[in-house]
A and B are shown apart, each in its own frame.
Chain A
Amino acid sequence: MTTDELTQLLVQQPIAVLHRLARGRVHRHFRTGKRRLIELLLQHSSQNLAGLESDLQALIGERQTRAQAAPARPAAPRPAAQHPSAPPPGRRPHRPHEPESTEPAVSLAAWLEGLGVPTPQPFVPDPWQGEALAGLAETDVVVSVPTGSGKTYVAVEAARRAMEENRTVIYTSPLKALSNTKFTEFSKIFGSDRVGILTGDRQDNSQAPLLIMTTEILRNLLYDAASGEIDVRLDTLGLVILDESQYLADPERGVVWEETIIFCPSQAKLLLLSASIGNPQDIADWLTSIRPSPCRLVRHSKRTVPLRAGYLHPDGKLTPLFRTAGIPYGHPGQLHPEAKRLFVQYEEDTLPSGRPRR
Chain B
Amino acid sequence: MPPSIHPVDLIAALREKSLTPAIVFLTSRRACDEAMEAFDHARTVLPPARQEAIAAALERVIAQYPSIAEHPLIPTVQRIGVAAHHAGHLPSWKIAIEELMRQGCLDAVFATTTLAAGVDFPARTVVITQSSIRKARDFMDLTIGEVQQIAGRAGRRGKDYVGFAVVTPSPYIDLHVLTKGFTGSPEAIDSQFTISYPMVLNLLKAHPHEQIQAILAKSFAQFQLNQRATVLEGKLDVLHTQMEPFGPRVCTDWITQWHTFDQARRQKPHRHQIARNESPEVTARFHFMTPGRVVGFNKGRGIVLRQYRSKGQKSPMVTVLRAGGAVTESPAGIVTDVFDRLFECTEQPNYPWCTTESFDELLYQLTELPTRLPLLPILVSKESELIPDAIVQTLGDFPCPTCSSRPACQKDYLMASRLRQEQQRHIKSIQALRTSLWHRFQERIDVLQKFGYLSPTSHLTDDGEWARLIRIDHSLLITELIRAEAFAGADPAVLTGVMASIAHDDDRPGAFPRVSTGLSSLLGQVRKLAESLSPYEDPPLLRADIAAVAERWVSDPGLTWIGLCRSTTMAEGDIYRLLARTLEFLSQLHTLKDTHPGLADSASKAIDLIRRGVLEELP
Closest residue to A187 on the B side, CB-wise? B619
Binds B, one of A39-47, A130-138, A234-242, A309-317: A309-317
Structural contact, A306 and B163, CB atoms closer than 8 A: yes
Instruction: A216 to B471: give the CA distance in the assembly, Å.
Output: 9
Tell me whether A94 and B363 are in contact (CB under 8 A). Answer: yes
> Does B164 reach chain A (CB closer than 8 Å)?
yes
Contact B189 A148 (CB under 8 A): no
Query: Are A201 and B607 CB-contacts (below 8 A) given A118-B159, A227-B202, A316-B13?
Result: yes
List residues of chain A with CB within 8 A of the CB of B364: 92, 94
A259 proximal to B (CB < 8 A): yes
Kindly state whether residue B583 has any CB partner on chain A within 8 Å.
yes
B5 touches A201 (CB 8 A): no
Residue from A175, A305, A333 whose CB has the most chain B CB atoms within 10 Å: A305
Within 8 A of B (CB), among A159-200: 174-178, 180-181, 183, 197, 199-200
Q: Which residue of B lies closest to A291 (CB)?
A: B218
CA distance A15 to B366 in the complex (A): 25
A254 and B193 form a contact (CB under 8 A): yes
Report the Cα distance A208→B219, complex, angstroms.
Answer: 31
- Partner pick for A278 among B95, B157, B171, B189, CB 8 A cutoff: B189
Q: In the complex, A252 Cα to B2 Cα: how many Å?
A: 39
- Which one of A22-30, A50-58, A61-69, A279-287 is at the B interface? A279-287
Say which residue of A95, A174, A278 sits within 8 Å of B185 (CB atoms): A278
| Residue of A220, A303, A316 touching B471 (CB-CB under 8 A) | A220
Given contacts A289-B223, A332-B179, A346-B169, contact A315 B1 (CB under 8 A): yes
* Closest-CB distance, B572 to chain A (whole angstroms): 15
Per the 8 Å Cβ criterion, residues 47-85 of B in contact with A are: none
Q: Measured between alpha carbons, how far is A188 from B85 in the docked complex, in Å?
A: 24
- Name which residue of chain A comes closest to B587, CB basis: A201
Q: Are A180 and B618 in contact (CB under 8 A)?
A: yes
A277 adjacent to chain B (CB < 8 Å): yes
B116-124, B405-413, B424-432, B555-563: which one contacts chain A?
B116-124
CB distance from A127 to the nearest CB of B (A): 15
Which residues of chain B come closer than 8 Å to A92, judged between CB atoms? 360-361, 364
User: Does any Cβ of B come within 8 Å of A121's Cβ?
Assistant: yes
In the complex, chain B residues 358-376 whose Cβ is within 8 Å of any chain A Cβ:
360-361, 363-364, 367
Task: Please tell me if the beta carbons of B175 and A343 are within 8 angstroms of each other in the complex.
Answer: yes
Q: Is the CB of B1 within 8 A of A223?
A: no
Q: Are B91 and A200 closer than 8 Å at their CB atoms?
A: no
Is the CB of A91 closer than 8 A to any CB of chain B? yes
Fill in one digit per residue for B123-162: 1 if any A CB lies within 8 Å of its CB, else 0: 0000100000000000000000100110111111111111
Distance between Cα atoms of A309 and B184 in the complex (Å): 14
At the interface, yes or no: A114 with Cβ under 8 Å from chain B? yes
A59 interfacial contact with B, CB 8 Å: no
Are the CB atoms of B155 and A255 closer together than 8 Å?
Answer: no
Answer whether residue A244 sits at the interface, using C-beta atoms and an 8 A cutoff.
yes
User: For the complex, what is the distance from the CA of A147 to the CA of B124, rounded to whole Å?
Assistant: 14
Q: Is B155 a contact of A306 with CB atoms below 8 Å?
A: yes
CA distance A47 to B166 in the complex (A): 56
Asked if A312 meets B162 with Cβ closer than 8 Å, knowing A254-B191, A330-B183, A350-B171, the reply is no
Do A312 and B13 form a contact, CB below 8 Å, given A180-B618, A201-B587?
yes
The proximity string for A residues 332-357 relative to B, scoring 1 for CB distances below 8 Å and 0 otherwise, is: 11010000000100100110000001
The verdict on A146 contacting B219 (CB below 8 Å), with A254-B193, A311-B167 known, is no
Given contacts A91-B360, A94-B367, contact A262 B218 (CB under 8 A): yes
A117 proximity list for chain B (CB < 8 A): 159-161
8 Å CB contact of A314 from B5, B179, B611: B5
- Give which listed residue, B165, B194, B215, contacts A307 with CB less than 8 A: B165
- Cβ contact within 8 Å between A202 and B160: no
Assign chain B's interface to a size class: 35 or more
Chain B residues, CB < 8 A from A149: 157
- Flag if A279 contacts B188 (CB, 8 Å): yes
Interface residues of B in 390-430 (CB under 8 A from A): none
User: Judging by beta carbons under 8 Å apart, are B179 and A290 in contact?
Assistant: no
A275 on interface, CB distance cutoff 8 Å: yes
**B583/A201 in contact, CB under 8 A:** yes
**Contact in complex: B155, A278 (CB < 8 Å):** no
Q: In the complex, A178 Cα to B223 Cα: how many Å?
A: 30
Known A223-B202, A259-B199; contact A147-B158, beta-carbon cutoff 8 A: no
> Which B182-206 residues have a C-beta within 8 angstroms of A?
182-194, 196, 199, 202, 205-206
Given the known A-B contacts A178-B120, A286-B220, are A249 and B157 also in contact in the complex, defined by CB atoms under 8 Å? no
B3 in the interface (beta carbon within 8 A): yes
Q: Which residues of B contact A290 (CB under 8 A)?
A: 218
- Taking CB atoms, residues of chain B closer than 8 Å to A216 are 471
Q: Is there contact, CB below 8 Å, between A177 and B223?
A: no
Chain B's nearest CB lies how many Å from the CB of A233?
A: 18
- Give chain B nearest CB distance to A120 CB in angstroms: 7
Give every chain A residue within 8 A of B346 (Cβ-Cβ).
none
Confirm or deny: A327 has a beta carbon within 8 angstroms of a beta carbon on chain B. yes
Q: Which chain A residues border B174 with CB–CB below 8 Å?
A: 357
Assembly CA distance A329 to B147 (angstroms) = 14
Chain A residues lying within 8 Å of B167, measured Cβ to Cβ, are 309-312, 321
Using known A-B contacts A197-B619, A200-B583, determine if residue A332 contacts B176 with beta carbons closer than 8 Å: yes
A-side contacts of B243, CB under 8 Å = none
Q: Known contacts being A146-B148, A312-B127, A314-B169, is A201 close to B218, with CB within 8 Å?
A: no
| Residue B94, interface by CB 8 Å | yes
Note all chain B residues with C-beta closer than 8 A to A200. 580-581, 583-584, 587
Chain A residues, Cβ within 8 Å of B223 = 282, 285-286, 289
A331 CA to B169 CA, complexed, in Å? 21
With a 10 A CB-CB cut-off, give which of B175, B176, B468 has the most chain A CB atoms: B175
CA distance A80 to B218 in the complex (A): 46
Confirm or deny: B17 has a beta carbon within 8 angstroms of a beta carbon on chain A.
yes
Taking CB as reference atom, which chain A residue is nearest B590?
A201
Known: A202-B619, A275-B145, A330-B183. A305 touches B160 (CB 8 A): yes
With an 8 A cutoff between CB atoms, is A308 at the interface? yes
Query: Chain B residue with minimal CB distance to A275?
Result: B149
Which chain B residues (308-358) contact chain A, with CB distance < 8 Å? 324
Q: Give the CA-CA distance A350 to B171 in the complex, in Å.
A: 7
A231 interface contact, C-beta 8 A? no
In the complex, the answer to whether B206 meets A223 with C-beta atoms within 8 Å is yes
Query: Who on chain B is nearest to A150 by CB?
Result: B157
Asked whether A312 lies within 8 Å of B1 as measured between CB atoms, the reply is no
Chain B residues contacting A259 (CB-CB under 8 Å) are: 199
The closest CB in chain A to the CB of B135 belongs to A251
Residues of B within 8 A of A157 (CB): none
* B170 → chain A closest CB, angstroms: 9
The answer, yes or no, to whether B249 is at the interface (CB within 8 Å) is no
Chain B contacts of A301 at CB under 8 A?
185
Interface string of A54-97 (1 = CB under 8 A from B): 00000000000000000000000000000000000001101100
Residue contact B182 to A309, C-beta cutoff 8 Å = yes
B224 at the interface (CB under 8 A from A): yes
Alpha-carbon distance between A337 and B155 when the two chains are bound, in angstroms: 25
Contact A180 B619 (CB under 8 A): yes
**A258: Cβ under 8 A from any B Cβ:** yes
- Say whether, besides A228-B206, A312-B167, A180 and B95 are in contact (CB < 8 Å): yes
A304 interfacial by beta-carbon distance below 8 Å: yes
Q: Does B10 contact A (CB under 8 A)?
A: yes
The complex places the Cα of A235 from the Cα of B335 at a distance, in Å, of 51
Answer whether residue B18 sits at the interface, using C-beta atoms and an 8 A cutoff.
yes
* Inter-subunit contact A327/B182 (CB<8 Å): yes
Contact A349 B188 (CB under 8 A): no
Is A276 interfacial (CB-CB < 8 Å)?
Answer: yes
Given contacts A176-B580, A285-B223, contact A118 B192 (CB under 8 A): no
Is B385 at the interface (CB under 8 A from chain A)?
A: no
Contact among A228, A275, A316, A358 for B152, CB-based, below 8 A: A275
Q: List 10 A-B contacts (CB under 8 A).
A: A94-B367, A115-B17, A200-B584, A226-B205, A252-B192, A277-B186, A278-B189, A307-B165, A310-B166, A316-B12
11 new A-B contacts, CB < 8 A, other than A278-B185, A278-B188, are A91-B360, A94-B367, A114-B162, A117-B160, A201-B583, A248-B191, A251-B192, A313-B168, A314-B4, A314-B169, A332-B182
